[in-house]
Amino acid sequence: MRYMITPCANGCKRGRMLRLIFPLPMLTQLEKVYEPQRFEPAWARWWIDNGIFKASAKNTGRTFSIVIPPPNVTGVLHMGHMLNHTEHDVVVRWHRMRGFNVLWLPGTDHAGIATQMVVERQLVTEGLTRQQLGREEFEKRVWKWKCESGNTIKKQMIQLGASCDWSRERFTLDPGLSLAVRETFVRLYEKGLIYRGEYMVNWCPRCFTAISDLETVHEETQGYLWHIAYPVIGTDRTLVVATTRPETMLGDTAVAIHPDDERYKDLHGKKVLLPLMNREIPIILDAMADPKFGTGVVKVTPAHDLNDFEAGRRHNLACIKVIGEDAKMTSAAGSYAQLDRFEARNEIIADLKAQDLLVGTEDHRLPLGRCQRCRTPIEPLVSKQWFVKTKPLAEPAIRVVEDGRIQLIPEHWSKTYFEWMYNIRDWCISRQLWWGHRIPAWHCHVCGQVTVTREEPAQCAHCQSTRIEQDPDVLDTWFSSGLWPFSTLGWPEQTEDLATFYPTSLLITGFDILFFWVARMIMLGLECMGDVPFRVVYLHTMVRDAEGQKMSKTKGNVIDPLEVTEKYGTDAVRMALMRGASPGTDISIGVDNIESARAFANKLWNASRLIFMKMESSGVDSWAASPAANVPLPEALPESLIIPLEDKWIFSRLNRCADAVNRSIETYRFHEAAQTLWHFVWHEFCDWYLELKKLRFEENSGINTHWRNLLTVYESALRLLHPLMPFITEELWQRITDGSPDRPQSLALAPYPQYQAGSSDSKAEFEMEILQSIVTAARELRADMKIDPKATMDGVLVVREKAQAMIGEMHTGIERLSGAKLEVLATADGVEGVKRGFPEFDLIIRVSAAQAEAQRSRIQKEVDQVEKVISSSERQLADEKFLSRAPQHVVDTIKEKLAGYRAQLQKLRESLNDSH
RNA sequence: GGUCGCUUAGCUCAGUUGGUUAGAGCGUCUGCUUCACACGCAGAAGGCCAGUGGUUCGAGUCCACUAGCGACCACCA
């Protein structure tokens, strides 16, 4: 037993914890079925306890740094996180194994509104409100909650194998990060990039705070366009306005018409009587009124509509707030005061009807802004808030993407980014919440001025009064997230970490927070650090279910990562995700995908089981070579003269595999890396290589060479696979290493196999292909002719020159894998039986005439197919235009291939004639 | 309203600069309890690459349009 379950040494009350007694270099036989639950938690712990993932601030070598998109402390891990974390971990482990000084910095976000809502909901169950509790008590309460449940995400990440440096874990409300927030705020304020003022903001009456434009979601909604008649004073005419929000009319301070609108020219300079309120308001001339829309007359409510607010400024109109922060009508709404805004709407419509002033109603689809958090319809209202002036920050942020100092992947996101950046509007950063970074501004009760400083001031900077009070508001969560890539490294202090790891190398995140987060980090990074926060942004898309549907609780199609990792193993879920993770497309994940990934893990497990069993019976107890960064050259190995074909072949394939995988990960083509490894391990290493090696061990000759080569390849494969499937590979790797001090402590620290020029062996690959074709041909014949699977077939093999030596060496293997006793002859003359002909060999199986017949239809089909290809190639080679315009190498290739097809056709025809 | 993306086997998707029998996994069918693995082995079937037109010697790949789906942005009453 290598694992022991012991009570947690530090007296943790949670009961027993898995602890690992390790390392114990030990090669024992594996259980028959792969049970990841038995070793995954132990390795997760072990990696951390042994500091495998610690970055060094002093390291002067190549550095790779990445910060996690901090999950909400309120959060519970979902599939999107798991995808994100797996992508991070693959890239991070890959770099670490390539010898980089790697930092993956983890942490969480205080998530202002979201967290506050969670705790408030808790309070409701106790019959309390935060107001009853008071600000200080409430904050304590949130902190308490944060400390209790805030570690969930961390534990879950550890369980997923995320190779973060937990010693550098950060939280957006940490003292250091709060310092960074304050520093940034003061700097921006001093540069005039932060200002306070009364403007139209998006107000959520349920969350009771202003929110930014990005936090409102627009939704097409079916509504009405009401036509309301406003009597024109001094005439018997009326002006008919069209509105979607009649309740705001109580706050109208003008109606607007287009100056050139002929219909109303005679009314210029007149006034109308605002119905229900009996207030006289002017008719103003403004281009905001589109003569083609509705009636061409717009009511102007500066307090409740952005356009109207601006029109109000242009025309110096009063701003009458008729809807309050609680979404109820204010006292300015006269008899409607205290009504909810939607109730008021109904009453107003009824009252207008009664007075015959409602002259029309038409259906109208309109976009309705809702609060991102609680879906409550947003109330645009005028309010005194803090804003960031974004244009000056956006300009350099646009430039760095334009000139490639930051690269967005997939590249097409740049356009979306530019689009938003060019049209950026000022950012409302104050929130009327209690959970977050308090705004470092103090209001003076005496002179009314504001003091903004880094340190808490004792007196007003303007009148020296001590009657000052800190602004009650907190900052938008994204303000602190925007500083994440450098605030986490110690800024504004000039720390070693900051010098070593900023700018970070890469950011991996979802496109859904491109504006919320990525854009703001770029702006604030450039502003505060004078350099980009990261060089590459890889944006992945959404995780969907097997049918490509968005996962949602209401649809019931959510896959819980913890459930499935528990059931199928973390490695399996990681692999399933990676196989689907191609840049730019959504990832569909169903249980099927995860099951097949588990099958892959099980395959690797059982291949290892085979290897370990054979090692034991051969008296080999560990793998003795040190891992090398390069895929080894078989020629460089001792006893090179007797390297068997399967070894030359597998080394060559391993080399190509390493090449492909390295290039795939480098370009974030995770699906490609996964695919390549899957194919190599399963269909090359297991299906062919191990099958051939099993026979070698039976033969029991040259056993040391076989072992050395096999273990070298196997060990390299584990290393290649490690970033994707860290647990199973570590578990297996530790079992074959002998624990000597020159060996890395963990597979996570072993060098990642690199392509080595000259290590590919085309001759071996060619010969192996021939071998595979012979075996496959024999199996096809057996299946087609329904020959007893257990019967040894009797046959003849005629091999042409290039492959003859191979047949000599591999004869036993070919016979065993094809299940046929094969006589090797120089020609096939006079041999009776079913024949499969190939350019490199003929395979003839002796069968009865009845069995042979089954072969004919399939060969005929192939003949038809090849004939078609030949005729199309011939047509092309006869085409003058093609010959004159296509490049020579294309013409040559076709000529070559045509020759091949012809040979193939001839062979097929022979088979057809001979098979009787 | 603006922008972007997608449409390839029954399903989910690959297919890097255009180059000639279009690939994988799952599913389906046939046969195998072969001493690593039935989470397996061996074999097979299955696709006028959404449609139309264009560029080209050559198009799943480039261009235009059409249809369907999806996402993001958005202050027109």
Q: pLDDT digits over A215-268, tens only?
A: 998 888 888 889 999 998 888 888 899 899 999 999 999 999 988 888 888 888
Residues 6 or more apart whose CB falls under 8 angstroms from that of A262 comprise none
Is residue A598 over pLDDT 90? yes
- What digits encode the pLDDT tens for the residues A308-332? 998 998 889 998 999 999 999 999 8
Q: Pick from A429, A523, A472: which is nearest to A185 by CA? A: A429
Q: Using 50, 70 and 90 to split pLDDT, how confident is the model at A883?
A: confident
pLDDT of residue A748: 95
3-class DSSP state of A73: coil
Q: How confident is the model at residue A767 (pLDDT cuts 50, 70, 90)?
A: very high
Say whether pLDDT at A205 is over 60: yes
> What pLDDT does residue A689 have?
96
CB of A284 lies under 7 Å from some atom of strand B: no
Q: What is the pLDDT of residue A739?
A: 66
In sequence order, the β-bridge partners of residue A841 are A799
Residue A55 three-state SS: coil
- How do the residues of chain A divide into helix, strand and coil, expressed in percent and rounded to 5? 45, 20, 35
Give pLDDT, residue A483.
96
pLDDT tops 50 at residue A419: yes
- At A28, the pLDDT band (50, 70, 90 cuts) reads low
For residues A118 and A178, the model is more confident at A178
Distance from residue A874's CA to nucleotide B6's C1', rounded to whole Å: 38
Please choose, from the candidates A40, A160, A4, A3, the residue with its C-alpha nearest in 3D space to the C-alpha of residue A731.
A40
- Asked if A794 and A687 touch (Cβ cutoff 8 Å), the reply is no
Distance CA(A5)–CA(A155), nearest Å, equals 18
Question: What's the pLDDT score for residue A786?
Answer: 87
State which nucleotides on strand B lie below 7 Å from a protein beta carbon.
3-6, 11-15, 19-21, 24-27, 30-32, 34, 36-45, 56-58, 71-77
Give pLDDT, residue A915.
54
Torsion sign, CA atoms A348, A354, A357, A362: positive
Whole-Å CA distances, A726 to A39, A79, A560, A597, A835: 11, 19, 20, 14, 48
Kindly write down the DSSP assignment for every residue of A820-865, as one continuous string: EEEEEES--TT--SEEEE-SSEEEEE---HHHHHHHHHHHHHHHHH
Dump pLDDT digits (tens) for A813-824. 999 999 999 999
A270-284, A469-483, A878-892: which is most confident = A469-483
Lowest model confidence (mean pLDDT) among A58-62, A774-778, A821-825, A850-854: A850-854
Question: Is A418 near strand B, with its CB below 7 A from some atom of it?
Answer: no
pLDDT of residue A847: 82
Backbone angles phi, psi at A592, to 5 degrees: -55, -45
Mean pLDDT of A650-679: 93
Q: Which of residues 422-451 of A touch strand B (CB under 7 A)?
A: 423, 425
Q: Is the CB of A374 under 7 A from strand B?
A: no
| Rounded to 5°, angle at Cα A103 from A98 and A108 | 140
Taking C1' of B41 and every protein CA, the nearest residue is A687
pTM attached to this predicted model = 0.91
Does the structure show a pLDDT above 80 at A549?
A: no
Residue A275: phi and psi, rounded to 5, are: -60, 160
What is the distance in angstroms measured between the alpha-carbon CA of A584 and the sugar C1' of B52? 28
Highest mean pLDDT among A233-237, A530-534, A704-708: A530-534
A866 strand B contact, CB < 7 Å: yes
Task: Please list, in sequence order, all residues whose beta carbon lies within 8 angstroms of the beta carbon of residue A415, skipping any fewer than 6 positions away.
Answer: none
pLDDT bin (cut points 50, 70, 90) of residue A18 is very low
pLDDT at A21: 39
The set of residues, in sequence order, having a beta carbon less than 8 Å from that of A769 and lying 6+ positions away, is none
Is A766 buried (19+), middle (13-18) or exposed (0-12) by CB count in 10 A?
middle
The answer to whether residue A4 scores a pLDDT higher than 70 is no
Q: What average pLDDT does the segment A711-721 reach?
A: 94
Q: Which of residues 688-717 of A touch strand B (CB under 7 A)?
A: 690-691, 694
Q: Does at least one atom of strand B sit less than 7 Å from the CB of A166?
A: no
Residues 585-604, chain A, CB closer than 7 Å to nucleic strand B: 585-586, 588, 592-593, 595-596, 598-599, 601-603
3-state secondary structure of A373: coil
**What burial letters (b/e) apply to A67-92, b meaning 16+ CB within 10 Å?**
bbbbbbbbbebbbbbbbbbbbbbbbb
Q: What is the pLDDT of residues A153-200, one digit of tens each?
A: 888 899 999 999 999 999 999 999 999 999 999 999 999 999 999 999
Mean pLDDT, rounded, for A336-358: 91
> Which ranges of A539-690 would DSSP assign to H, the alpha helix?
561-568, 570-580, 591-618, 645-666, 670-678
Mean pLDDT of A87-93: 96
Which residues does A210 contact at the CB level (< 8 Å), separation at least 6?
A: A201, A202, A203, A204, A383, A385, A428, A430, A431, A432
Residue bearing the bigger pLDDT, A909 or A595: A595
CB-based contacts of A796, cutoff 8 Å, min separation 6: A822, A823, A824, A825, A828, A831, A833, A842, A843, A844, A846
* Residue A658: pLDDT over 80: yes
Tell if A298 CB is < 7 Å from nucleic strand B. yes
Q: Round the average pLDDT of chain A to a whole number and report it.
A: 87
Q: Give the CA A592 to C1' B50 distance in Å.
A: 27
Residue A880: pLDDT over 80 = yes
Sheet containing strand A209-211, strands side by side: A209-211, A194-204, A379-388, A427-428
Q: Which of residues 638-667 of A touch strand B (CB under 7 A)?
A: none
A293 vs A641, more confident: A293
Token pair 């010693």 in the structure block, residue: A167
pLDDT at A136 over 90: yes
Measured CA to CA, the distance from residue A616 to residue A427 in angstroms comes to: 68
In contact, A362 and A243? CB cutoff 8 Å: no
* A624 class by beta-carbon count within 10 Å (0-12 exposed, 13-18 middle, 19+ buried): middle
List of A residues 238-257 with CB within 7 A of strand B? 241-245
